[in-house]
């Protein structure tokens, strides 16, 4: 392929990028020029569905919320890997099947470990008494 062939194939992309930049610029300019400018007493106050804000927005959450969020992200990303593997399953052959079997096996071991140490427990500890 000649260099002019590559350039000819890129002009629609350059045209599209230019149109997007022009549209964004015009939208921002119009909102600045036509937008309202007023500084009233309640303009900068937050409005949450008609409920007056009370207290601080900085609340402390139990660490379990963060742990469950991290576990969700880890196991959700696993779904992306399995889905992408399923798309190219025929091209990968048995090597790909072995690789995904090892991957899912490791994830199962990790899930069993989390379950065993109580990383997935939300309620009070079972079988443990607070009495001395």
Element (H, E) at 16: helix 3-34
Does the pLDDT at position 130 exceed 60?
no
d(CA 56, CA 48): 14
Kindly list the domain boundaries of the chain, sorted by start residue: 62-122
d(CA 24, CA 103): 44
Contacts of 13 (CB under 8 A, 6+ apart): none
Does the domain spanning 62-122 belong to CATH 1.20.58.1610? yes
* Stated pTM of the model: 0.46
49 token code pair: 């569905």
- Contact, 99 vs 93, CB < 8 A? no
Over residues 41-81, the pLDDT tens digits come to 777 676 667 677 677 777 787 777 888 788 888 888 888 88
Does the pLDDT at position 14 exceed 90?
yes
């Amino acid at each position: 392929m000649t260099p002019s062939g590559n350039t000819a194939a890129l002009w629609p992309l350059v045209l599209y990028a230019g149109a997007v930049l022009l549209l964004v610029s015009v939208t921002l300019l119009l909102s600045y020029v036509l937008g309202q400018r007023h500084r009233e007493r309640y303009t900068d106050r937050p409005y949450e569905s008609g409920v007056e804000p009370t207290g601080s927005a900085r609340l402390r959450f139990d660490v379990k919320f963060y742990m469950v969020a991290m576990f969700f992200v880890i196991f959700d990303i696993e779904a992306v890997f399995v889905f992408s593997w399923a798309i190219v399953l025929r091209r990968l052959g048995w090597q790909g099947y072995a690789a995904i079997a090892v991957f899912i096996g490791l994830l199962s071991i990790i899930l069993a470990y989390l379950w065993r140490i109580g990383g997935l427990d939300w309620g009070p500890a079972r079988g443990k008494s607070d009495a001395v």
